[in-house]
Amino acid sequence: MFVTLALLLSLGAMGAYLYSVRGMGVARAAPVAGAAGRWQQLRAMPSHRSELAVAALNGEVFVVGGATDFLQTSARVEAYRPAHDAWVRYPDLPAPRHHPVAVAVGGKLYVLGGFHGVSFTVQQDVFEFDPATRRWQALPRMPTPRGAASAVAYQGRIWVVGGVGPHGVTDAFEVFDPATRSWSRRSAPQARRQHGAMVEIDGRFYLAGGRVSGFASNSDLLEIYDPATDRWRYGAPMPMPRGGIAGAVLGGRFVIVGGEGQDGTFSQVDAYDPATDSWQRLAPMPTPRHGIGAAAIGKAMYVPGGGRRAGYSISDRNEVLILE
């Protein structure tokens, strides 16, 4: 595959990472007869962005931050309203971020960490957004600065793991309690990773995929965490290694979409069933993308934005996977 113009950026702890203006192409998944689920194209995002954060709150799909043209860092906040197939604008983040994480807790939106600029300066800010007042406020920072991490909300707290910190890929696993505005630390997973995905199902956390550095280090690992015992264990590996993915819970299963690798971006969609410790192929995503986020509302999983080609690319795509 062919790259017409590339910028070799020195990203400090991330090492040398190759971003291209045109990108590397796509790697579409082969159709699987009878694969469950159906996809629909929705109204495109008002802005083109990748490496953004996504969370569902009050029936809306919030899209936060990300990178725009030539890796410019965005503070933009938009939300998709499924009932009207429409987008609304919310107040910008207090500071622009790409590769942050976002979760909803107690009717508020929380955005944590990320990077700033083409130098990928690591951030540790925590911002809280109250949709009732439409105001942001800064909260106590993460103990470990990081971007490209994974996070879930559980029992009113925010659990953040992995990502890239000042000294490289980290396995730090930290918990923020918005009620006490305090941080605590939990046992690290067995493998360090960035650009993975994590969800909570029935009181267990499932951390899948990601990578250590370049595409060759993409992982197929699935780790399962029990917050009651503070212990990790391995589950059945993903059908293929990939990083730059997104995940959400649909029908009690951990659904993984997109990602990127040496062959380009991926359209493959896989669902993990905790009851059987097994994976099932679902209908492929119409537009292969990486640097995406995902959020589930009811039986629908929304996947906005992301890059259509591996490395640096952006889009305004907005697609939904529906499981009947």
Q: Which of the 8 DSSP states describes residue 209?
A: -
Q: Read out DSSP for 255-288?
A: EEE--EETTEEE--EEEEETTTTEEEEEPPPSS-
Burial letters 265-282, b for 16+ CB under 10 A, else e: bbbbbbbbeeeeeebbbb
| The pLDDT of residue 115 | 98
160 and 200 in contact (C-beta within 8 Å)? no
Could you tell me the pLDDT band of residue 7, with boundaries at 50, 70 and 90?
very low
Q: What percent of the chain has pLDDT over 90?
A: 85
| The pLDDT of residue 324 | 81
**Phi–psi pair at 13, nearest 5 degrees:** -65, -25
The mean per-residue pLDDT over the stretch 90-98 comes to 98
Estimate to the nearest angstrom the gap between the alpha carbon of 66 and the chain centroid.
11
pLDDT tens, residue by residue, 23-38: 455 565 555 656 799 9
Burial letters 165-191, b for 16+ CB under 10 A, else e: beeebbbbbbbbebeeeebeebeebeb
Q: What end-to-end distance do the CA atoms of the chain give, in Å?
A: 38
305 and 52 in contact (C-beta within 8 Å)? yes
Task: Quote the tokens at residue 315.
Answer: 């889009």
Task: Quote the tokens at residue 129.
Answer: 């957004």
pLDDT tens, residue by residue, 269-322: 999 999 999 999 999 999 999 999 999 999 999 999 999 999 889 999 999 999
pLDDT tens, residue by residue, 136-168: 999 999 999 999 999 999 999 999 999 999 999
pTM exceeds 0.85, yes or no: yes
**Phi–psi pair at 70, nearest 5 degrees:** 55, 40
For 74, what's the count of Cα atoms within 13 Å in the CB-facing half-sphere? 22
Helix or strand or coil: residue 124? coil
- Cα separation, 120 vs 52, in Å, equals 14
Estimate to the nearest angstrom the gap between the alpha carbon of 188 and the chain centroid.
19
- Cα separation, 300 vs 249, in Å, equals 10
* Confidence check: pLDDT of 16 > 90: no
Estimate to the nearest angstrom the gap between the alpha carbon of 100 and the chain centroid.
8
| The pLDDT of residue 9 | 33
Could you tell me the pLDDT band of residue 214, with boundaries at 50, 70 and 90?
confident
Max Cα-Cα span within the chain: 52
Q: Which of the 8 DSSP states describes residue 102?
A: E
Q: What is the mean pLDDT of the chain?
A: 91
113 and 163 in contact (C-beta within 8 Å)? yes
Element (H, E) at 136: strand 135-139
Could you tell me the pLDDT band of residue 2, with boundaries at 50, 70 and 90?
very low
Domains of the chain by start residue, with CATH: 6-322 (2.120.10.80)
